[in-house]
């Protein structure tokens, strides 16, 4: 073949066109001759085998070492068509569905990490004979060794930590949720004094090195002596978990209903029969199977550590009242006396339904913030007041209302909770009474005025406020239209904050926080970053129990932390 420069492509390895041009193809000795394009104007010919381009790589390595890294990357990014003839030939019928994209080593190792972390499997699975056999049969690859796998895990953990710190450094408000019922006033710290670099985030490696000197300290003393005087840092106002508080009302405060003797006698007799039925199912597999044959399902039984469990259990019985007598018969238990005992169960479910629904709302993972608390409590009181025509459960309603007033009175009158609820477009002031609407509106105006006058405040959003009538214009216009430069402070100072609030409350086109004008959006971020429940931390505890199982008792603290945080912080793991 002529070596004319008109032939500018490498037909054997098309991904190397940048470096070499094929000049001679010899079928006799299975060799191909290439001309190096990097050596021009000098003509350098390299012969290599048709099955390997190692000679080409050697030439790059010795003559053009600066291009070696890029050359290797081109080899990794080569098209499938270069090394898989099945990618372009017509498949047979029995081959359809069997040809799939080949994974490179990096993708294969990352998939194994995701599998082991997301399924809370032990890290030793990477060396298990069954897992190795599975990888060979499915991908024709051997997984990484335990040593290399742990290096990748540490790298993923460090990347996740760096991404998390970078994300936190870009926001002005962070919600800190803790579940520390048994810790009380004690905390463990690795240093006798808190250093500036570790006041908010402790370095993992340093924590491991100084693990032996960790000591219990008193939080109040540390704030006064270690932090308060040095860095002028204070903890925010403590707020109890709303879900726990509602659960206490539903389990403890309802005991006041038994002050009514008629309700006490009837409820204890009925709930005693229900508990006997639950015990039969839990203690006997034979009875459990018979119950399932009758109801086509097992009964839901109460669980002391699960919210709404008793309500769900009674609701399950009420939904099967037409078959429950047969269940009592096969379990040799005394059935309900109709209609009194069945009616009190029905009324109990009606009364407790608002509490159960509110618990589900407040412990939600998405779109639930502190502003949901007061509207939820208002909805509970409204639902309880509407249940007026009850025969047996009126004392239960009174006990619930008394418990809500006792435990949530501080939050009902809290300016922070009122403003946070008013800033949620879904609620605004629709949940408040007529007298409260006026005072909350005034508090909201004062809050916006304080935010505008605070010259030291910085917010995530840097968009300026545009003076327009929100009731006549859509507030979700392009951000570029809202960019101004020099007159930002003057515009904010001259803007009528009272008009902003009035327009917001009257504008029905504002349906989400993204639609809020910039001034209200800043206040929304500040007041609704907090969440009303600590259920998120309890989910973390539950996952921790799955990781630290009985068969993994020797797991180190470092590996436990990496496994747990990698599972829960998927958002900060770069794909």
Average pLDDT by stretches of 10, the chain with 575 residues: 43 73 69 85 83 82 82 60 49 58 81 88 90 88 90 90 86 77 47 35 37 46 51 67 90 93 94 95 93 94 85 94 93 90 94 93 84 93 91 94 93 92 92 90 88 52 36 39 38 64 89 88 90 83 79 84 85 57
Euclidean distance between CA atoms 30 and 187, whole angstroms: 73
Instruction: Yes or no: say if 404 and 381 are a contact pair by the CB < 8 Å rule.
Output: yes
If phi > 0 it is left, if psi is from -120 to 50 it is alpha, else beta; for residue 264 that is alpha
Measured CA distances, 309 to 161, 247, 251, 300, 305 (Å): 37, 10, 11, 8, 8
Query: What is the per-residue pLDDT for 11?
Result: 53
Euclidean distance between CA atoms 428 and 418, whole angstroms: 10
If phi > 0 it is left, if psi is from -120 to 50 it is alpha, else beta; for residue 308 that is left
Q: Which helix (H) or strand (E) holds 22?
A: strand 20-26
If phi > 0 it is left, if psi is from -120 to 50 it is alpha, else beta; for residue 254 that is alpha
Measured CA distances, 315 to 155, 252, 277, 350, 394 (Å): 49, 19, 14, 9, 19
Euclidean distance between CA atoms 314 and 116, whole angstroms: 39
Would you give the end-to-end CA distance of the chain in angstroms? Answer: 46
Instruction: Yes or no: say if 55 and 45 are a contact pair by the CB < 8 Å rule.
Output: no
> In the structure encoding, which two tokens stand for residue 173, read together?
């408000």
Query: What is the per-residue pLDDT for 286?
Result: 93
In degrees, to the nearest 5, what angle opens at C-alpha 291 toward C-alphas 286 and 294?
Answer: 130
> In the structure encoding, which two tokens stand for residue 150, read together?
């742990």
Give start and end residues of each alpha helix (H) in 200-254.
204-209, 219-221, 229-231, 242-251
Euclidean distance between CA atoms 439 and 125, whole angstroms: 61
Give the closest residue to 31 by CA, choosing from 23, 20, 19.
23
């Amino acid at each position: 073949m002529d070596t004319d420069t008109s032939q500018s492509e490498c037909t054997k390895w098309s991904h190397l066109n940048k470096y070499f041009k094929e000049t001679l193809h010899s079928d006799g000795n299975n060799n191909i001759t290439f001309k190096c394009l990097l050596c021009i104007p000098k003509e350098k010919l390299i012969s290599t085998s048709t099955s390997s381009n190692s000679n080409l790589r050697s030439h790059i390595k010795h003559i053009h070492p600066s291009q070696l890294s890029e050359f290797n990357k081109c080899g990794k990014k080569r098209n499938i068509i270069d090394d898989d003839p099945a990618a372009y030939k017509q498949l047979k019928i029995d081959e359809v569905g069997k040809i799939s994209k080949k994974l490179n080593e990096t993708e294969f190792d990352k998939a194994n990490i995701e599998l082991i972390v997301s399924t809370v499997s032990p890290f030793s699975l990477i060396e298990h004979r069954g897992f190795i056999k599975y990888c060979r049969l499915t991908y024709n690859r051997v997984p990484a060794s335990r040593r290399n796998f742990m290096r990748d895990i540490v790298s993923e953990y460090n990347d996740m930590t760096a991404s998390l710190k970078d994300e936190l450094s870009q926001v002005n408000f962070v919600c800190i949720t803790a579940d520390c019922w048994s810790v009380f006033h004690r905390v463990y710290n690795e240093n006798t004094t808190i250093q500036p670099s570790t006041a908010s985030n402790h370095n993992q490696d340093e924590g491991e090195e100084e693990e032996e000197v960790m000591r219990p300290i008193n939080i109040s003393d540390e704030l006064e002596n270690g932090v308060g005087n040095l860095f002028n840092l204070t903890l925010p106002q403590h707020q109890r978990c709303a879900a726990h508080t509602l659960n206490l009302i539903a389990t403890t405060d309802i005991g006041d209903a038994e002050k009514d003797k008629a309700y006490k006698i009837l409820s204890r007799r009925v709930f005693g029969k229900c508990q006997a039925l639950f015990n039969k199912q839990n203690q006997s597999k034979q009875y459990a199977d018979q119950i399932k044959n009758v109801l086509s399902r097992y009964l839901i039984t109460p669980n002391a550590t699960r919210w709404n469990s008793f309500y769900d259990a009674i609701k399950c019985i009420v939904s099967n009242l037409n078959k429950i007598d047969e269940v009592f018969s096969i379990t040799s238990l005394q059935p309900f006396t109709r209609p009194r005992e069945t009616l009190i169960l029905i009324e109990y479910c009606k009364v407790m339904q608002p509490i159960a629904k509110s618990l589900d709302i407040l412990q939600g993972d998405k779109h639930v913030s502190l502003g949901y608390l007061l509207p939820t409590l208002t909805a509970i009181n409204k639902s309880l007041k509407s249940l007026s025509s009850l025969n047996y459960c009126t004392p239960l309603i009174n006990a619930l209302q008394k418990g809500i007033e006792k435990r949530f009175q501080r939050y009902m009158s809290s300016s922070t909770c009122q403003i946070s609820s008013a800033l949620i477009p879904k609620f605004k002031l629709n949940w408040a009474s007529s007298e409260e609407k006026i005072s909350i509106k005034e508090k909201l105006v004062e809050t916006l005025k304080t935010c505008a006058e605070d010259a030291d405040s910085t917010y995530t959003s840097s968009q300026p406020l545009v003076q327009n009538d929100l009731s006549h214009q859509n507030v979700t216009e392009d951000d570029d239209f809202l960019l101004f430069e020099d007159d930002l402070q003057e515009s904010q100072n001259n803007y009528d904050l009272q008009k902003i609030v009035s327009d917001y409350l009257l504008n029905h086109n504002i349906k989400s926080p993204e639609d809020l004008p910039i001034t209200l959006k800043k206040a929304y971020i500040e007041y609704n970053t907090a969440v009303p429940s600590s259920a998120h931390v309890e989910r973390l505890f539950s996952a921790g129990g799955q990781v630290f199982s009985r068969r993994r008792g020797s797991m180190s603290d470092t590996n436990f932390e990496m496994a747990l945080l990698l599972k829960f912080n998927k958002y900060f793991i770069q794909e």
